[in-house]
Amino acid sequence: MKVHLLFAPTDGGTHPRTLPLGQATLAAFLRANGVAVDQDDVDALVWRDNRTLARTLHVNLLLLGDRGRVLPYLDGRPDPYLDTLVERMARKVDVRGADLIGLSVMEPDQVLPALCLARHLKGTTGATMMLGGPNVGEETLAAAPYVDYVVMDEAEISMMGLLEHLEGTRSVEDVPGLVYRDADGAVRLNDRAHLPIEEVPAPDFSGLPMDVYALDVDGAAVLPLPYQLVKGCPSQCTFCNYYSYNLDGLRAKSMDKVVSELARLSDTYGSRHFLFLDNTFNISKRYVRDWCDAVVQEGLDFLWMDSARPTGLDRSLLDRLRASGCVRFTYGVETGSPRLLKLMRKGFTVDDAGAVLEASHDAGIWNLVNIIAGFVSETEEDIALTENFVRAHAHAMDNYNVLVFIPYRASVIMQHPEEFGIEAIIENRDVVWDGNRAHIHFDEGGVPWDRKKEVQERSRQELLAALRTHTPNVSAPAHLLFRGYELFDTKGEIVRWIRERPGGPAAEMGW
């Protein structure tokens, strides 16, 4: 049985931010179990070719993400121009001989281009077609007759099971976590099963276009390698749906496994830069200390970044983290309103968050702060409290993301809406094409969804204005930060260097 894994294109046409970690982990596991696996990153290949080929040969990914145009096309309406784009996209990879083609869909923006590609490849190859990742599910299979199977979360055990099924040695009902059609055509989801974390292999990136991910920054190639130490999350924030499909809860790799895998990855790919893609690095003080000890003991000389909860980290621990190579933490601060923080069940206070940002800044770590705009029941007073927080800690907020609150189907809020004063829930089936992003809309306290969206946008604009005005407001992609931390000793110097770059940081990313 030959498997070909393809990372689906996004619709934005921007530089692929990271190597596809989930797909490469799956490839490593299948290869270790004797399965012949090829893999490609269609997103990266389109991005590269769109920069080098004549315009007439480009794949217009924005068009492939245009729901108004693509949905009728997927339903069979002729559209010769879309046919041309999809064929161009498909020609970038050679899937001949594959029995099973698996498309990786990590972001909502990948859903439509992935379906276009799946439909085309099903027609041209006849291979078994599957989709995997957090943005596909039962609705996707129900809506896409050219897709045979879906797995929506960790897929190692599911994929091995499916291969056994396709070889005739296992019944489809026995394949854990598989979404499939039964004999009557009804869509079914089997109970899930995940690999123990110590058995999850390090990613295997072979087959991927490494030259695309590496960017030249001032004469040095910077290649951030993604890696995951921890699955799950110690928190259960009420807006998040991560824990819902991460059924096995919090799981962390042993430090022995982590350091040996990192050392091997560094040797194999010739990079000392790691993008840790954990929900939370600081799952416990002990785990953080174990990491710092292991780095010293093994003499590791890496630079890395990750996400962290803004609590339980003091200056001495942050100094040790910086010394272990940490250059950036993304902190989910979310709001400066104590009431909203409680409603979100973040498990820390506004003061905790402020103290960690300050200590992290003093330790020389780049602070990227996530803020949520338009949360359930957010008032002008809540917005003003967040603005106060921004003003108070502006110098310690190097960069920020303001994301509008999205109600996820499996979040605590949507499971128990009455506790949050939400009055109406509308299951909007049309948006299956958007991944898990917005299956559900809500009306709160008499504010209908359309109006709430306006309120959310106003809140976002107000918060963005405060952040732009008060914080250093320096956009610094990972590649640039890694290089900056190699070249300079202080954040002040890095900020100056970034600000003085011709074309700004966007130039490196080709945006």
> Please, which residue, 39 or 235, has the CB nearer to ligand SF4?
235
Range in contact with ligand B12 (rule: CB under 6 A) among 126-134, 324-332, 446-454, 461-469: 126-134
Q: Are 10 and 504 a contacting pair, CB within 8 Å?
A: no
Separation between Cα atoms, residue 448 and residue 139, nearest integer Å: 26
Say whether residue 39 binds ligand B12 (CB under 6 A). Answer: no
> Please, which residue, 11 or 306, has the CB nearer to ligand SF4?
306
> Please, which residue, 237 or 495, has the CB nearer to ligand SF4?
237
Burial 252-286 (b: 16+ CB within 10 A, else e): bbebebbbebbeebbeebebbbbbbbbbbbbbeee
Say whether residue 17 binds ligand B12 (CB under 6 A). Answer: yes
- What does residue 465 show for φ and ψ, rounded to 5 degrees? -60, -40
> Please, which residue, 28 or 318, has the CB nearer to ligand B12?
28
Q: Residue 298's CB: how many other CB atoms inside 10 A?
A: 15
Give the DSSP letter string of 197-217.
GGGPPPP--TTS-HHHH-EEE
The four Cα atoms 280, 283, 285, 288 give a dihedral, to 10 degrees, of -60
Lookup result for tokens 């993604």: 226
Say whether residue 107 binds ligand B12 (CB under 6 A). Answer: yes
Say whether residue 367 binds ligand B12 (CB under 6 A). Answer: no
Tell me the one-letter amino acid at 29: F
Q: Which residues contact 450 (CB under 8 A, 6 or more apart)?
A: none
Say whether residue 177 binds ligand B12 (CB under 6 A). Answer: no
Rounded least distance, CB 82 to ligand SF4, Å: 36
Give the DSSP letter string of 338-350.
HHHHHHHT-SS-H
Q: Residue 334 binds which one of ligand SF4, ligand B12, none, with CB within 5 to 8 A depending on kind?
A: none
Q: Contact letters (x/-) for ligand B12, 144-173, by CB under 6 A?
A: -------x-xxxx--x--------------
Say whether residue 127 binds ligand B12 (CB under 6 A). Answer: no
According to CB under 6 A, which residues from 428 to 447 bind ligand B12?
A: 435-436
The strand pair at 2-7 and 36-41 is best described as: parallel
Range in contact with ligand B12 (rule: CB under 6 A) among 18-26, 319-327, 450-458, 461-469: 18-26
Kindly list the residues in this chain that would bind ligand SF4 in the complex (CB under 6 A).
233, 235-237, 240, 242-243, 279-280, 332
Say whether residue 18 binds ligand B12 (CB under 6 A). Answer: yes
Residues lying near ligand B12 in the complex (CB under 6 A): 5, 17-18, 20-23, 25-26, 102-104, 106-109, 130, 132-135, 151, 153-156, 159, 228, 240-242, 277-279, 403, 406, 408, 435-436
